Structure 1
């Protein structure tokens, strides 16, 4: 009986980190996007920090983006492919140090699950080029959507309203 229990316990320990979990971390790697470029092409187009965030799923330092406190009227586009992602009407100050929005432009942002810090988070990507934007959380303004799209400013390009 003790041997069976020990074998079962060892089996459970080794099965905790399954290949399904590893696949969920980067399920966008299997997606095909309208805009695709080689790593060399992205490096030529983007700044080092934008490449790190958009192509390597990095995170910029909080409070470092000039877009964090930008409240001008306009649209926030993907810095990689110029797809419109967020409207200034949906931007709010979350106090986190990153540009925050309560909703995305429907169809222009895709979502996946990442486990990079040990638990599941909803990751956001540009639906056109697959660039990493940030994460969405359920602690946004209750009067609107309740969502907080926490976005790296370096992943965005602001286009002012004319």
Structure 2
């Protein structure tokens, strides 16, 4: 079955042509960030990452999440209860016959994952991110 590419008309501070994105990203990162794909659960080492640090968009390096909001959701994807202020934008996703909220990088529009209302306090949100869409940068504190 051919994949349906989600076209977005929005503009973002970081914009590249399709060819430039393909040259800049690994095939897996391109599939997730630009084609709204999903990596296999439990496939990302970032799911089990426990060091203090910051998680950035793999497309444009904008910092999006802190390890202080990361938790083990048991889903097989890196999960956070909140993004950094202004780091992400959301959009409605009705693909596969489901109503979900898609999470994108606010700087380049890259697809990071989805957010669900079944997370822990204090927000009750689960930002379920694709590890391939993120890079991890260890710090002394998260």
The answer (yes or no) to whether the contact 2:41–2:77 under 8 Å persists in 1 is yes
TM-score (norm 1): 0.81
Partner deviation per Cα, 1:128-148 (whole Å, 9 max, x = no partner): 00000000000001x311000
Supply the distance in 1 between the matched residues of 2:44 and 2:6 (Cα, whole angstroms): 28
Largest Rg, 1 or 2 = 1
1:79–1:71 distance in 2 versus 1, CA, 3 Å:
same
Say if 2:81 is the partner of 1:102.
yes
Say if 2:86 is the partner of 1:140.
no
Q: For residue 119 of structure 1, report the CA deviation from its aligned partner.
A: 2.3
Supply the distance in 1 between the matched residues of 2:30 and 2:80 (Cα, whole angstroms): 22
Structure 1 residue ranges without an equivalent (≥5): 1-25
Q: For residue 27 of structure 1, report the CA deviation from its aligned partner.
A: 8.7
The aligned counterpart of 2:139 is 161
Number of aligned residue pairs: give it.
136
Structure 2 residue ranges without an equivalent (≥5): none
Supply the distance in 2 between the matched residues of 1:75 and 1:31 (Cα, whole angstroms): 26
The aligned counterpart of 2:39 is 60
Root-mean-square deviation over aligned CA pairs: 1.4
Supply the distance in 1 between the matched residues of 2:46 and 2:109 (Cα, whole angstroms): 21
Partner secondary structure for residue 41 of structure 1: helix
| Segments ≥4 residues shifted beyond 3 Å | none
Partner deviation per Cα, 1:47-70 (whole Å, 9 max, x = no partner): 000000000000000000000000
TM-score (norm 2): 0.92
Supply the distance in 1 between the matched residues of 2:32 and 2:8 (Cα, whole angstroms): 15
Supply the distance in 1 between the matched residues of 2:122 and 2:48 (Cα, whole angstroms): 20
Query: Aligned to 1:150, which of 108, 128, 140?
Result: 128
Partner deviation per Cα, 1:81-110 (whole Å, 9 max, x = no partner): 000000000000000000000000111100
1:145–1:28 distance in 2 versus 1, CA, 3 Å:
farther
